Structure 1
């Protein structure tokens, strides 16, 4: 009996290992949004992002796509667009938290080749194509299942780090997830991003000479 239990747990352990390996390998093959690391300090980075094209939809806070937002975007890349074009999945999924005037949104990054050739218009309701302006971002990376409390605590750490470096950022933030929903918390790659305000160069002073 004990031998059978040992054998059973061995199969379960192997299945979990294979599943996790497949997850990591599958997502490693996806195109990811490009960025340049300007500075790195542990799990915090200053990154420079180019302009990105996103296919976006409204999302309920902390729903992790369970409100239908993920499937609306997945339907778009599966062919629910004017060209019936299948578009490759990319990482990360950007999530921008709502405010008093705006709703929370979830967005997939459109692959560079599709963005260059022309992004097909969505056919499904509630889906739109938007531009994410490039720039410098302070980014903190962390694991776990993303929720409001975890994101808030990581944003607090990131803003404290920014303050120590005398970096000024926007009041709003966004989060990014790189893994499918069934990925265990400790193996997840999550990020909070805060756009840094552009530094205004000092005004140049010109000297003039007075001649008699």
Structure 2
């Protein structure tokens, strides 16, 4: 009986607690919450440095970005993973972005050796964000993006760009423990 309790406790730790706590160990983009409603919050982010891939086929984007942080750069330097990973539409294609740790600037960030991987700056601004759990599927994202879009229209908040998908957890995190977000860049002066 005692062995089965220990076994169950170990499984709960491995499949529920560890994946959640692991995602929290990654550096996250810093922001200030300037407004909070029942549905969404508005955050102010300062300039952030990202590596990104823009393509028509986003299946290879993650692999290219992962290779960059794994040392496929001019310094052969491994770079710690950060959260979130963001995706959206850009230049008649789709982008995926990894945020670089805050210690990097455009001047000291390793230069990608793959020409598809670019370093760029996301300029400071306000973003309306709705958080949700579950899988980071298209259906789940579109559902929450529409909820956020509708509420922003009701609240007369001006949307300044296309929707952004942000994911915080790896594929082995249980769906109910995952943190996902849909966001829009917005005009904010309240």
Could you say if the C-alpha distance between residues 59 and 184 of structure 1 is closer, same or farther in structure 2, counting changes exceeding 3 Å?
farther
**C-alpha contact 1:169 1:197 (8 A) present in aligned 2:** yes
- More RCO (CA 8 Å, sep 6+): 2
2:29 corresponds to 1:33: yes
**1:93-115 CA-partner distances (Å, limit 9, x unpaired):** 011135xx521111100111122
- Provide the C-alpha distance between the structure 1 equivalents of 2:174 and 2:32, rounded to a whole number of angstroms: 28
Alignment of 1:61-76 (within 5 A): 67-76=59-68
2:150 corresponds to 1:154: no
- Provide the C-alpha distance between the structure 1 equivalents of 2:131 and 2:56, rounded to a whole number of angstroms: 23
Determine the structure 2 residue equivalent to 1:86: 78
2:98 corresponds to 1:108: yes
Cα deviation for residue 59 of structure 1 reads 5.6
2:115 corresponds to 1:119: no
The correspondence for 1:182, drawn from 172, 177, 186, is 172
Higher strand proportion (structure 1 or 2): 2
TM-score (norm 1): 0.79
Q: Unaligned stretches of 5+ in structure 1?
A: 200-212
- Provide the C-alpha distance between the structure 1 equivalents of 2:105 and 2:155, rounded to a whole number of angstroms: 35
Determine the structure 2 residue equivalent to 1:202: none
Moved over 6 A (4+): none
2:14 corresponds to 1:24: no
**C-alpha contact 1:33 1:109 (8 A) present in aligned 2:** yes
Q: Secondary structure at the match of 2:105?
A: helix
Q: How many residue pairs are counted as aligned between the two chains?
A: 188
**C-alpha contact 1:43 1:142 (8 A) present in aligned 2:** no
Quote the RMSD (CA, aligned, Å): 2.4
**C-alpha contact 2:20 2:177 (8 A) present in aligned 1:** no
Could you say if the C-alpha distance between residues 51 and 171 of structure 1 is closer, same or farther in structure 2, counting changes exceeding 3 Å?
closer
Determine the structure 1 residue equivalent to 2:10: 14
